Structure 1
């Protein structure tokens, strides 16, 4: 799995509040263009975010499903992005004083994306997740500041 970590200047509960609001997903997840719907019981196991990926006019409607949850420290997702395939994404939150170390672990689970050699996938996912964590920090820290 590709692993990316960032220290966010907010408590785990404050970061968790952002992760728990499925409508905020496209604000911090690189590649998610828009939300179409969020299951009422998000982020419980089995709940889905119904989102689109890509840029207009080439949008693909897909979804992301919660596979495992341990609030406020773990959210594991199965992200669908066909035609590329599906990915397993784990977000770990760990308190560091009054801040939070957030780690994203991600790798392609199935589909054509598995044909990309792992070292190449790791670089691509690493770049993407550095930016995703930067965006997550902006949202969580911005909520703290208000």
Structure 2
């Protein structure tokens, strides 16, 4: 399981405003190129984001759905990004003196990436998730400025 952490100079409310805005998904998730639709009850369990992965002209339509949601604290998602596979991602936020500590966990649960040895998966997912968290932080910090 890949684990990444970032300190964001914004309140957890600002961080979760980005995390729970399904239409912003393509702006901060590495690999997601556009959002096609957001189904209610997003961000509640069962809600789904319909997104595309890749770059034009090779776009693959896929989805991300909510498994668990605790406002301002935790969001757990089932992510799909074929042909790479699918997995589960969890975000956990805690308030710190300078803003928000956000930890992202990701585990491949199916598809080709899940067949890689754990250290290789961690290298691939960890690098991607570092950039994902950096993008999320920029958006959340901009909300507070």
Band the TM-score falls in, shorter-chain normalisation: over 0.9
Matched, 1:15 2:15: yes
Matched, 1:120 2:120: yes
TM-score (norm 2): 0.97
Q: Deviations over 1:17-54 (max 9, x none)?
A: 11111100011100000000011321010100000001
Structure 1, unaligned stretches of length 5 or more?
Answer: none
Q: Which residue of 2 aligns with 1:143?
A: 143
State how far apart, in whole Å, the 2-side matches of 1:143 and 1:84 are: 33
Secondary structure of residue in 1 paired with 2:16:
helix
Secondary structure of residue in 1 paired with 2:27:
helix
Q: Which residue of 1 aligns with 2:79?
A: 79
TM-score (norm 1): 0.96
Does the CA-based 8 Å contact 2:36-2:50 persist in structure 1? yes
Structure 2, unaligned stretches of length 5 or more?
Answer: none
Equivalent runs, 1:1-146 vs 2, <5 Å: 1-145=1-145
For the aligned residue pairs, the C-alpha RMSD in angstroms reads: 0.9
Deviation of 1:83 after TM superposition, in Å, equals 2.1
Secondary structure of residue in 2 paired with 1:24:
helix
Moved over 4 A (4+): none
Deviation of 1:112 after TM superposition, in Å, equals 1.9
Does the CA-based 8 Å contact 2:26-2:34 persist in structure 1? yes
Question: How many pairs are equivalent?
Answer: 145
State how far apart, in whole Å, the 2-side matches of 1:134 and 1:83 are: 25
Does the CA-based 8 Å contact 2:10-2:99 persist in structure 1? yes
Q: Deviations over 1:73-98 (max 9, x none)?
A: 10000001122221110001110025
